[in-house]
A and B are shown apart, each in its own frame.
Chain A
Amino acid sequence: MDLTLIPNGVQRCPLKKFVPWMVLWIALITWGVVSAFLCFFKGLNQTNMNHYFAFGLWIVFDLSVIALGAGAFFTGFLTHIIGEVFIYPFRDNLKAVVNAAVVIGFICYSSAIAMLGVDIGQPLRGWFIFWHANVHSMLTEVSFCITAYLGVLTIEYLPLVLSNRKLKEIPEFDIFGNNLHHIIALFAAVGTFLSFFHQGSLGGMFGVLFGRPFAFREGFLVWPWTFFLFIHSSIAAGPSFTLLCVWIAQKVTGKELINRDVFNLLAKISGWLLATYIVLKIVDTIAWAYGVVPRAGMSFMDFYQGPYGIWLIIAEIGIFGIIPAIILITPRFRERDHLLIIGALMNVIGIVINRFVFSVQTLSIPVMPFDKFMSYFPSWQEWGIAIGAIGYGILLFSLSYRYLPLFPQEAEMSPVQVLGKVVTDSGIIKRS
């Protein structure tokens, strides 16, 4: 049964090896499910959040995975829109990775929405956001867009699922999948539109908090600068995260899945976006430090106290911002495997720090002069849900890799070998 589901022309590990691999991730998911059950049954007192830390690990996780999942829309945008119309090498190269990017995006967004479902105090009222929508709230915009975009990702994922060897045998599925595939550029365009807005609104959520000088930013019309910076940082980090996931998949499977040139292209795109983002981020930080901060009667160092010290800004902009940007934009650096991966990893870490800073550090800083500085550490239930989401992601990616033609170049780059000889699609054995 298992063998009949595996795509033609590629080799997968035996089921007895794959099952223990899945058990590991199912164990993590179980931890998450138990934690979610406790939160639903007993309430959010199961977390370490409090009146000061209204947002905690889950919001950091949500903001981070949504930023990292931007690889899906951005790769789709570059492949199906920019690649088809303007820059043909994008289409030709990124096609190798666009399926994987969609799966990663789907995992990121579905886990983020599931987590938000636990995070709100009244999960059964989640739909009120759509029913009683407040058009002035950035969070309303985020909720609408991420829900709609998860729908788009599902539509983008569907042709891939329907291209499974066994499902393809059903003519209706085959025709439906093919038809969807033909209009995928349309969904790539819709996904790009939605993503630009919710990535921005996630930044806007914090930028509009004029009662919190650490997060507050001026901006353009109703959009604070964080709106644009969040879009920019997500498209800088998204391709790096896709690159990293594919590289890990290569290491775990021991196979070459995509051409090295595709890695280079992803790194180059990510690097240049990160470099321009970091320049704008530095400008934004300086403008904030000389504008918002003194106007609120505070000094720059008031915001960096206790465990959330000045090291955070050095780490975010310097170590995990400037350094990966240099690595990724320099051809001779990104052509070395270890530097490429270090650069992509540092880029991802930098964006996670940025999301952490905006959500948790913002809340830790006392605004009233007689209030006190607070710090926060998540409870095991909070960790459980976050780690459960990671388990879910790895499980779904593994299943997708095993049973779906995730990497179009795989059959060519890592052909099936029997006793050292290559087996082609038609079953003919050639010398390797």
Chain B
Amino acid sequence: MKKEENRKGNRYGMVIDLDKCTGCGLCTVACASENNISVLYDESDKTRNIAWLQIYTITNGKDFPDTEVVYIPRPCMQCDNPPCVSVCPATATRKDPNTGIISQIYTRCVGCRYCMAACPYHARSFNWFDPSFPEGMDRYLSPEVSPRMRGVVEKCTFCHHRLMRAKSKAYAEGGRRDLKEDEYIPACAEACPTQAITFGDLNNPEHKVSRLIKSPHAFRLLERLGTEPKVYYLSAKNWVRRRADNYLTGEFK
């Protein structure tokens, strides 16, 4: 698919500082409750549970006392060149040219799962079961996010409903169309206790994310594949950056 760079409009992105992440999992809890993510009868089945934001644990492979552990939170990468969009036969997923966010239309998805086969990040989850919520939890469902039905694919949307809410609020307050940096933040970034997650417009030089991605410690997952993710990571540790992509012997400097 032809690469669509959205240089003029907004290009929302995220920077996750892995050196600050403690792997506490609060981002995943915030994500799940914000987005009405259903709870599987057996949540220990990590190959079938719904996880828009999953935390991977990596180690440097060294024995104690040199062992180091790093946690990699993995939301949808919201790729600029998404492998999932062009493959969907029913146009149930698309890239918003104004925000760069990859949407998923649940009521249009036929559940063929071709997008899941296309995504190398495993960022997409299929509803193998009917959505269910433990007793009492259904009362906490957000009215802003539609729960998904069995048989469709779902994924992180950068809390798109928050963008809609922020836009409506800004327009109501002063007819503003541009959002300030702190007006639209996904639930995971808001919840992170160590402020490891920074969110903003990568096209806006005043937003912190656009400065952070220029750091020599910034990298993305599987950059070589050409998916152009808009989720960046930061780490001063060389071995962590090495684990973000595949390298042949001697290639990684």
The reply to whether the CB of A126 lies closer than 8 angstroms to some CB of chain B is yes
Cβ distance B91 to chain A, nearest Cβ, rounded Å:
4
- B247 contacts across to A, CB distance below 8 A: 297
- A367 contacts across to B, CB distance below 8 A: 120-121, 222, 225, 246
The reply to whether the CB of A171 lies closer than 8 angstroms to some CB of chain B is no
- A211 contacts across to B, CB distance below 8 A: 83, 118-121, 222, 225, 227
A116 closest partner in B (C-beta) = B112
The reply to whether the CB of A291 lies closer than 8 angstroms to some CB of chain B is no
Instruction: Determine whether the beta carbon of B128 is less than 8 Å from that of A50.
Output: yes
Cβ distance A212 to chain B, nearest Cβ, rounded Å:
6
CA distance A55 to B119 in the complex (A): 13
Instruction: Determine whether the beta carbon of B243 is less than 8 Å from that of A370.
Output: yes
Interface centre among B125, B243, B246, B251 (most CB of A within 10 A): B246
Instruction: Determine whether the beta carbon of A362 is less than 8 Å from that of B222.
Output: no
Instruction: Determine whether the beta carbon of A121 is less than 8 Å from that of B114.
Output: no
The reply to whether the CB of A44 lies closer than 8 angstroms to some CB of chain B is yes
Instruction: Determine whether the beta carbon of A298 is less than 8 Å from that of B1.
Output: no
CA distance A213 to B245 in the complex (A): 13
Instruction: Determine whether the beta carbon of B86 is less than 8 Å from that of A137.
Output: yes
The reply to whether the CB of B113 lies closer than 8 angstroms to some CB of chain A is yes
Instruction: Determine whether the beta carbon of A122 is less than 8 Å from that of B114.
Output: no
Instruction: Determine whether the beta carbon of A45 is less than 8 Å from that of B72.
Output: no
- A44 contacts across to B, CB distance below 8 A: 111, 126, 128, 151
Q: B221-234 vs A: 1/0 string, CB under 8 Å?
A: 11011110000000
The reply to whether the CB of B179 lies closer than 8 angstroms to some CB of chain A is no
CA distance A213 to B226 in the complex (A): 11
Given A210-B226, A371-B122, decide whether A298 and B246 contact each other with a Cβ distance below 8 A.
Answer: yes
The reply to whether the CB of A81 lies closer than 8 angstroms to some CB of chain B is no
A51, A297, A299: the one contacting B122 at CB < 8 Å is A51
The reply to whether the CB of A160 lies closer than 8 angstroms to some CB of chain B is no
**Interface size grouping (class) on chain B:** 35 or more
Instruction: Determine whether the beta carbon of B58 is less than 8 Å from that of A370.
Output: yes
- B89 contacts across to A, CB distance below 8 A: 129, 133-134, 137, 139-140, 143
B117, B130, B149, B243: the one contacting A362 at CB < 8 Å is B117
B116 closest partner in A (C-beta) = A54
The reply to whether the CB of B164 lies closer than 8 angstroms to some CB of chain A is no
CA distance A128 to B86 in the complex (A): 16
The reply to whether the CB of B248 lies closer than 8 angstroms to some CB of chain A is yes
CA distance A9 to B127 in the complex (A): 57
CA distance A287 to B219 in the complex (A): 29
Instruction: Determine whether the beta carbon of B108 is less than 8 Å from that of A296.
Output: no
The reply to whether the CB of B165 lies closer than 8 angstroms to some CB of chain A is no
B130 closest partner in A (C-beta) = A43
Given A52-B47, A52-B122, A209-B118, decide whether A121 and B91 contact each other with a Cβ distance below 8 A.
Answer: no
The reply to whether the CB of A295 lies closer than 8 angstroms to some CB of chain B is yes
Given A128-B108, A205-B114, decide whether A51 and B125 contact each other with a Cβ distance below 8 A.
Answer: yes
- B92 contacts across to A, CB distance below 8 A: 128, 132
**Interface size grouping (class) on chain A:** 35 or more
B83 closest partner in A (C-beta) = A211
The reply to whether the CB of B88 lies closer than 8 angstroms to some CB of chain A is yes
Cβ distance A375 to chain B, nearest Cβ, rounded Å:
12
CA distance A348 to B48 in the complex (A): 34
Cβ distance B180 to chain A, nearest Cβ, rounded Å:
34
Instruction: Determine whether the beta carbon of A51 is less than 8 Å from that of B48.
Output: yes
B124, B150, B245, B246: the one contacting A43 at CB < 8 Å is B150
CA distance A217 to B244 in the complex (A): 23
Given A121-B150, A133-B89, decide whether A370 and B246 contact each other with a Cβ distance below 8 A.
Answer: no
The reply to whether the CB of B87 lies closer than 8 angstroms to some CB of chain A is yes
- A120 contacts across to B, CB distance below 8 A: 110-112, 151
Q: A45-75 vs B: 1/0 string, CB under 8 Å?
A: 1000111101100000000000000000000
B109 closest partner in A (C-beta) = A122
CB contacts under 8 Å to A, within B190-211, are none
- A49 contacts across to B, CB distance below 8 A: 113, 128
Instruction: Determine whether the beta carbon of A54 is less than 8 Å from that of B113.
Output: yes
- B117 contacts across to A, CB distance below 8 A: 54-55, 209, 212, 362-363
Instruction: Determine whether the beta carbon of B83 is less than 8 Å from that of A51.
Output: no
Cβ distance B125 to chain A, nearest Cβ, rounded Å:
6
Q: B14-54 vs A: 1/0 string, CB under 8 Å?
A: 00000000000000000000000000000000011000000
Instruction: Determine whether the beta carbon of B116 is less than 8 Å from that of A51.
Output: yes
- A138 contacts across to B, CB distance below 8 A: 87
CA distance A295 to B248 in the complex (A): 9
Instruction: Determine whether the beta carbon of A122 is less than 8 Å from that of B110.
Output: yes
The reply to whether the CB of B90 lies closer than 8 angstroms to some CB of chain A is yes
| B residues at A contact (CB < 8 Å) | 1, 47-48, 56, 58, 72, 83, 86-92, 108-114, 116-122, 124-130, 149-153, 221-222, 224-227, 243-248, 251
Besides A120-B112, A138-B87, A211-B83, 10 other CB < 8 A contacts?
Answer: A50-B48, A120-B110, A120-B151, A121-B126, A131-B90, A139-B87, A209-B87, A209-B117, A210-B83, A210-B225
28 A-B residue pairs with Cβ-Cβ distance under 8 Å, sorted by A, are A43-B127, A43-B128, A43-B129, A45-B48, A49-B113, A50-B47, A51-B47, A51-B124, A51-B125, A54-B114, A121-B109, A122-B151, A125-B109, A129-B110, A131-B90, A137-B114, A139-B112, A209-B117, A210-B226, A210-B227, A212-B120, A299-B248, A368-B120, A368-B122, A369-B243, A370-B58, A370-B72, A371-B122
| A residues at B contact (CB < 8 Å) | 43-45, 49-52, 54-55, 119-122, 125-126, 128-129, 131-134, 136-140, 143, 205, 208-213, 294-299, 302, 362-363, 367-371, 374
